[in-house]
Structure 1
């Protein structure tokens, strides 16, 4: 039975917002993968430079997703920290 209104999840605006969110998330994932790849593979990268890259990645992530610092800290920070520990033999 038709109720005369459209579900909010099916409006063109909402669908566009979801698509934009997916694109930003994909960009974030690619950026994190690239940062991790450089940290893991560049033999001349100092620990200070690697730390700066990780910090810059976090700043970029928060620029794309304001108010999502907790999510970044739960999802990406542990991966970056583990890589830094392994790469630079940090205890």
Structure 2
């Protein structure tokens, strides 16, 4: 593969990950029948997908994406976070 091919492949994988994260966020926020357990499983499924698209980079998902999805879950289910506010 050339450098251009590598860049194109990475861009394709980034688009796929954005789509997965955006759809997950939308489901978490809007599906009225979603349970808390299902919501947490969706977050883990998105993390698994991120790991398949970018092996060894789940830590980036945990730092960047997981907090966004968890905030949606906290708001959706009226859970008060005990985490310190930065």
Give me the whole-angstrom Cα distance separating, in 1, the residues matched to 2:54 and 2:27: 23
Structure 1, unpaired ranges of 5+: 1-11
Say what the alpha-carbon RMSD is for the aligned residues: 1.0
Q: Which residue does the alignment assign to 2:15?
A: 26
Partners of 1:37 and 1:43 lie apart in 2 by: 11
Other structure's SS at 2:2 match: helix
Query: Does residue 59 in structure 1 map to residue 52 in structure 2?
Result: no
TM-score under structure 1 length normalisation: 0.84
Q: Considering only CA atoms, is the larger Rg found in Structure 1 or Structure 2? A: 1
Distance in 2 (alpha carbons) for counterparts of 1:55 and 1:70: 13
Using structure 2 for the length normalisation, give the TM-score: 0.89
* Runs of 4+ deviating beyond 6 Å: none
Q: In 2, distance between residues paired with 1:75 and 1:29? A: 12
Matched pairs, number:
80
Aligned to 1:41: 30
Shift of the alpha carbon at 1:24? 0.3
Query: Any unmatched runs of 5+ in structure 2?
Result: 81-86
What is the Cα deviation at residue 70 of structure 1?
1.4
SS state at 2:3 partner = helix
For the pair 1:70 / 2:59, whether they are aligned, the reply is yes
